[in-house]
Structure 1
């Protein structure tokens, strides 16, 4: 089962809260809270999709999906944004974006349709219930629009859509879509399309850099491989869930309910695989501790808090048991 960065979910939930919606009850049903989500972790793609579908049923503003695109910043795309910005032309950037679309926050799929004067960036959305479909399509179209606009503002080029097509019937709020995108919007199409002038696609990007481009391509290739990491065993699913948290960790009963199991079934199935919940919790903490010690300058006391320890002494003792050395010695190495 594929996984991806949890940043997309965090951006969306933060955006919903800023717009006056309350996503916390839905997160709670999935055993999560926004305050505990760790931005450095990954989430199963199918689980994230279920959360989106549940959230769509609770939102009150019909334009909330459209507005969510504004909460996705360039920095959240990591090496992908640098890969796009080091392309030679806008056309190459679109082609690269399609190739590495797995590193975006999309659930639909992108392709490019060339034409004589206008060409189209096409988004084929994932099938969902009608309410969730519009919510998700609006978010993906506006998020893609925001990415392109942010890039061109950064680079000082102009690549705007001549028209945008949306794959659902014309809503009462249609005029708001044209005001948001700054171009005509046609509804009732089978797919979402950004229609672009061919001459705009030939614009050369001022940040083109073949050497840097090769470096960022390698980084993006590694990320694509990481997304396909198998999480088929129950122990892997439990570790993935525990990896989402920071500050405090859920109990075995909380994890079981989040995975649709009873605590007894969870413990029995883990035992059959040769694991215990206690050992998996320790493993999740150890993995996060290593990451924080290697890649941050946080003091040991702060790392202990992120791992759910009330006192740093308890963390130090546990880390010595895991690694055979103190956190300070590990960081020094």
Structure 2
């Protein structure tokens, strides 16, 4: 089972509660309560993603994710935060952040793009149904930048971005984004980018401590090893099914699902094979279930159902449905509508 620290979720829930949001009904629908969510626990990644997508659809403002991401506490990262503080310079801290990103609250993978004068810290967003995708982008962008600002405030250094790129179309009001990031914000990129001046990345950290750094690196390595052991023993088939259930129109490919589960695509395929399944089989199962729901609804044509399921043309859907049900979608719909 692939898990996340539940603390990241708790930070978001605390901010929502402070704003008067009633959390009990949302949590109850997933068999959870705030009392059950102990700060030191971990939560299944697919469960948290489903919960976050659900929350996104209930929030009164589309940009509220920007506020929630700012609620992440620096010391909540545990040994990871102290590993960053004991690095020799800001660049080394950034590289440690990349190496140990699985110890953060992120779902989306981090990467680094070096440049001549400026370099970019990048977040590649998960492919989720809207409004979940934008919500998670906002939360993770704000949370990542909050970590940079916390480092800056603890060290007395300047790590502010010179510009920020956001991977969705510009909202009606972009002022909250420009106010928080304190620099020009460009919307419509393919991924998140925080552009930072290279001269800032070369700044030496006043808290640099090679001995303590080695100690915290050892602790971080132990945590990564524990996570890897958890992933080997998890029910990956159920996790893939639960993730695909998030989608009502179009479906992600295997690489995108693997990213959501915190796995490499090759690892995901290997684990599914070991469990006697495959991504294609689970996707077909999900599509077949969804196709039956849409066909029974009766409001959509076969062509519209095909489009909703992510097929480029109706013929491919009809062929797949015949393989699943032994008849065409139209014939199956007539059979279900016929009186007994």
TM-score by length of 1: 0.68
What do you get for the CA RMSD once the two structures are aligned? Answer: 1.5
For residues 111-157 of structure 1, the C-alpha deviation after alignment (integer angstroms, 9 at most, x for no partner) is 00000111100100111112111111000000011111011101111
**Cα separation, partners in 2 of 1:233 and 1:184, compared to 1, 3 Å:** closer
Residue 113 in 1 paired to residue 113 in 2? yes
Alignment of 1:194-273 (within 5 A): 194-228=194-228, 229=230, 230-232=232-234
SS in 1 for 2:70: helix
Aligned partner of 1:31 in structure 2 is 31
The answer on whether the counterparts of 1:170 and 1:188 sit within 8 Å (CA) in structure 2 is: yes
Distance in 2, Cα, partners of 1:30 & 1:44: 12
SS in 1 for 2:207: coil
The answer on whether the counterparts of 1:56 and 1:131 sit within 8 Å (CA) in structure 2 is: yes
The answer on whether the counterparts of 2:2 and 2:234 sit within 8 Å (CA) in structure 1 is: no
TM-score by length of 2: 0.67
SS in 2 for 1:71: coil
The answer on whether the counterparts of 2:12 and 2:71 sit within 8 Å (CA) in structure 1 is: yes
The more displaced of 46-55 and 18-27 is: 18-27
Alignment of 1:86-235 (within 5 A): 86-228=86-228, 229=230, 230-232=232-234
Cα shift at 1:231: 4.4
The answer on whether the counterparts of 2:12 and 2:68 sit within 8 Å (CA) in structure 1 is: yes
Aligned partner of 1:21 in structure 2 is 21
The answer on whether the counterparts of 1:165 and 1:194 sit within 8 Å (CA) in structure 2 is: yes
The answer on whether the counterparts of 1:164 and 1:195 sit within 8 Å (CA) in structure 2 is: yes
Distance in 1, Cα, partners of 2:179 & 2:41: 36
Cα shift at 1:233: 6.0
Cα shift at 1:30: 0.7
Cα shift at 1:24: 2.1
Cα shift at 1:36: 2.8
Unaligned runs of 5+ in 1: 238-333
Cα shift at 1:218: 0.6
For residues 274-333 of structure 1, the C-alpha deviation after alignment (integer angstroms, 9 at most, x for no partner) is xxxxxxxxxxxxxxxxxxxxxxxxxxxxxxxxxxxxxxxxxxxxxxxxxxxxxxxxxxxx
For residues 159-210 of structure 1, the C-alpha deviation after alignment (integer angstroms, 9 at most, x for no partner) is 1100010000000121221011111100000000000001000000000011
Distance in 2, Cα, partners of 1:105 & 1:135: 14
For residues 203-253 of structure 1, the C-alpha deviation after alignment (integer angstroms, 9 at most, x for no partner) is 00000011110100010011112222144369xx9xxxxxxxxxxxxxxxx
The count of aligned residue pairs is: 235
For residues 17-71 of structure 1, the C-alpha deviation after alignment (integer angstroms, 9 at most, x for no partner) is 1123223211111111113321121111111111111111111112210001221
Aligned partner of 1:277 in structure 2 is none
